Structure 1
C-alpha cells in the first residue's frame, strides 16, 4: 500500500515574510513558533522526517500542522476549542458569592468588620449555597468581578462651606500666584505642620543588619522611652526644610518654629512669606493669623480647608520621614530621636528638589463639579423632608 504523500506548502512572498517574523519572535508563544517553523521547513521542500529531526518533534506532529496550514492557513495553527472540565459551580451560585461579598458582615449577622476569602467560603458553605468551596476559589470568583471585600478606603464629609475658595488659594500659591497676581521674587511660600508622638522604642535586642538571603531583623519587644513632636516648615519652591523637636505641640512650639524661619534670610527681609497650615489647635482660626501678623508683619497665614491636610505639602515630607527615619523604630532615647531627625534634615536639604505637585486648580474645579453633580443626584433621590448630608472626599486608608 503506497504511503500518503506530504501536503505541499506554497507561500507567497508577503506570507513568507510574515511567517519568518513570527518564527524569530521573542514574545510569541513557543508552541506557535514551533508550528510556524514546521510550515516554513515544509515550504522549503523538506520531508516530514527531516522536519521532525530539525525541530525535535514527532513526525505525526509535523503531519498535523503541515496539513492544517495547507487547509486553513494561519487559523489552522491555532488550538482547537477544548471541552475541559465542566464547571463545578453554577452561575447562580457564583452570583450569590459575589452578592454576599458586597454586603457588610454585620448586616448578615456575622461578627466581623470585613470579609476575607476564608470567611466567605465558610459562610457560603454554612448557608448551604455550595456544599464545599475553598478560599482560593472564592478569591478567583471575586477577582472576575474586581471585588476585594478585605480592602477598604476611608472617606470624610466636606464640612467647610468655603472648601473651593480655601483650596484654590493654596493651589494658587503652589503656582506662585496670590489674588490673581504672580508672586514677586522676594515672596515665599512655607508649608508647615507638626508630626506628633514620635516614640523612642529601645529594642530589648539589637537590630540585626540584612545579610545573604536574610532581611533586616528587628526585635518585637521594646522599652518605651517617651515621645516627642517634630515641627517642620518646608519652603515649597526652594525645597528647604526647617524643623525642631518639642515635648508636645502647642502655640509656643509653633511660634518657636516660626521664629526659627522668619529671623533668617531671605525670609526676614522678604516682602511677604505665606504660611500654609491646617486647622490644628496650634494655628487655628483668625486668632492665629493675628498672632502671626503681630509678631512678623510680613507673614501671612493661609489655612487649608477643614479635613484637607492632603493639600499641605509638608505632609509629603513627613511621609518621607516616617519611611526613612522612624520606621523601624529603634532608639535608645529621645535625644537619639532628635539627633537622627536633625541629621536627616541636613541630609535632605543637600539634595532636595521641589515636589512635583500634580493637583492643579483645574483638577479642583473638576472635583467640585463632580461633588455638585453627586449632591444634586442624591437630593433628587431623597424623599421630601429627608435631611441631606454633604458629599464626601476620599482619604487614604
Structure 2
C-alpha cells in the first residue's frame, strides 16, 4: 500500500545544523519561539517506519504546534536552512525620520532657544524642524529631554567649603562620644495669613479651595535645634531674630541638654551667630562647639529638612487670624513630632559630595571653577 498525500522532501540535516538546532532547544535563556521551531525541524528530520519522512501531522503533534505552523517552518527551512527560522521583518510603513533629523533635533534642543521664548515647546520645535509634534515628543522622551523644566542650584563660593563639608558630614556619620549633635537654624518671617474668604472644604471630586488673596496678621520666628540621633526638636518662638534672641535660645539649650554632654551645634553663616555677645557666651560655656556650613549650602543642615515638614504639613495651608494662633499651631505640631520623632539619616560621605560637585563643574562650560 502506497503512502497517501504528497511526497515530502527530506530535510537531510548536516552535523552542524543538527548541533545548532539542539543547542537552541537546550538554551534556557533563549527565545522560546526559536526553540519550538528547532523542535519542529528536528522532528521533521526523523524517518517513519515505512521509510518515508515523518508526516507534518505527526511532527505537529510531537512539537505541540498546529499543522500549519509545522508546515510553515519546514518550508522556510528547506528554502533558507537555519536563516529561515528567524523572524522576517514585520510589515508596516517604513521609517520616515532619519538619524540625521534626530541628531539635528537634539542639537537644536540643547544648543539653541526659540525667538521670543526661553525654551522650546513641542509645537515650536516641530515648526522649526518640519517634524510632527508627536515625533518631537517621542524623541525628547527617548533621550530624557525636558525643555519645559528648570531646577535651581547654587555652588558655594566659600574657599573653606571642602573643610566645612568634611567637618559637618563627619558629625553626621561619626558623631563624637558623650556629646549631642544639634542642627540649629531660624525659620524667620513666618507669616500668619488669614484668607479673605472662608475655605471651601473638600468634597468628592472637588479639592479644598481657598482664595488666592489673604490678609497678613504679623510674623514670628522659630528657632529650632534638631537632635540628629533621636530626631527630637527643641524649639523657641520669638518675634525677632537678632543675636539677643539667638543667645536666649542657646541658654534654653544649655538648660535642656544634660550637663555631662558636650554640645556640637551645626549652624549657617548668619551674622547673629557670630556677634561678639555670642562669642563671649560660648567662651563662658566651653561645652558648646559651633560648626558652620559653607555659605550658600543650607541643604547641608538637616534642620532645614524638618522645617520643610513643618511648612508642608502645618503652615502652607494653614489659616491664622493672629500671630498667637500661628505660634499655638507651631507648638502643637512640634509637640506631636516629639512624641514620635523620626531622625533624618545622612548617607553620603563628604568625598562623595565634593566629587559630585566637581563632576558637575566639569560638565558645564561657564562654571568658572
TM-score by length of 2: 0.73
Matched, 1:114 2:107: no
Matched, 1:338 2:346: no
Task: Report the counterpart of residue 96 of structure 1 in structure 2.
Answer: 104
Task: Report the counterpart of residue 250 of structure 1 in structure 2.
Answer: 242
Q: Deviations over 1:82-134 (max 9, x none)?
A: 464233344443333222212353xx5x2222222233224x1xxxx42xx33
2: CA distance, partners of 1:40 / 1:170: 66
Gaps in structure 2 of 5+ consecutive residues = 45-53
Pairs within 5 Å for 1:30-41? none
Matched, 1:149 2:147: yes
Q: Deviations over 1:293-337 (max 9, x none)?
A: 15644322221111111111112222222333345x142435454
Shift of 1:389: 6.9
**Aligned Cα RMSD in Å?**
4.2
1:50–1:367 Cα change, 3 Å: closer
Query: Of 160, 177, 183, which residue of structure 2 is paired with 1:184?
Result: 177
Q: Deviations over 1:133-166 (max 9, x none)?
A: 3333112223344432222333334321111122
2: CA distance, partners of 1:94 / 1:48: 50
Query: Of 199, 202, 213, which residue of structure 2 is paired with 1:208?
Result: 202
1:152–1:304 Cα change, 3 Å: same
Task: Report the counterpart of residue 224 of structure 1 in structure 2.
Answer: 215
1:87–1:16 Cα change, 3 Å: closer
SS of the residue corresponding to residue 114 of structure 1 reads coil
SS of the residue corresponding to residue 235 of structure 2 reads strand
1:225–1:46 Cα change, 3 Å: farther
Q: Deviations over 1:355-387 (max 9, x none)?
A: 22122133255357658x949x98xxxxxxxxx
Mean Cα displacement is larger for which, 61-70 or 249-258? 61-70
Q: Deviations over 1:330-349 (max 9, x none)?
A: 42435454344333323322
2: CA distance, partners of 1:49 / 1:321: 74
TM-score by length of 1: 0.68
1:364–1:330 Cα change, 3 Å: closer
Pairs within 5 Å for 1:10-21? 18=27
Q: Deviations over 1:234-290 (max 9, x none)?
A: 011232111233445333443343333221132xx145211111123432x454751
Query: Of 233, 250, 254, which residue of structure 2 is paired with 1:262?
Result: 254
Contact kept, 8 Å, 2:37 with 2:73, in 1: the verdict is yes
Q: Deviations over 1:33-85 (max 9, x none)?
A: 67766876895999659969x98x97534532465578766x76643224642
Task: Report the counterpart of residue 352 of structure 1 in structure 2.
Answer: 341
1:251–1:68 Cα change, 3 Å: farther
Count of aligned pairs = 343
1:229–1:134 Cα change, 3 Å: farther
Task: Report the counterpart of residue 279 of structure 1 in structure 2.
Answer: 269
Pairs within 5 Å for 1:68-79? 68=76, 78-79=86-87
Contact kept, 8 Å, 2:243 with 2:278, in 1: the verdict is no
Contact kept, 8 Å, 1:170 with 1:276, in 2: the verdict is yes
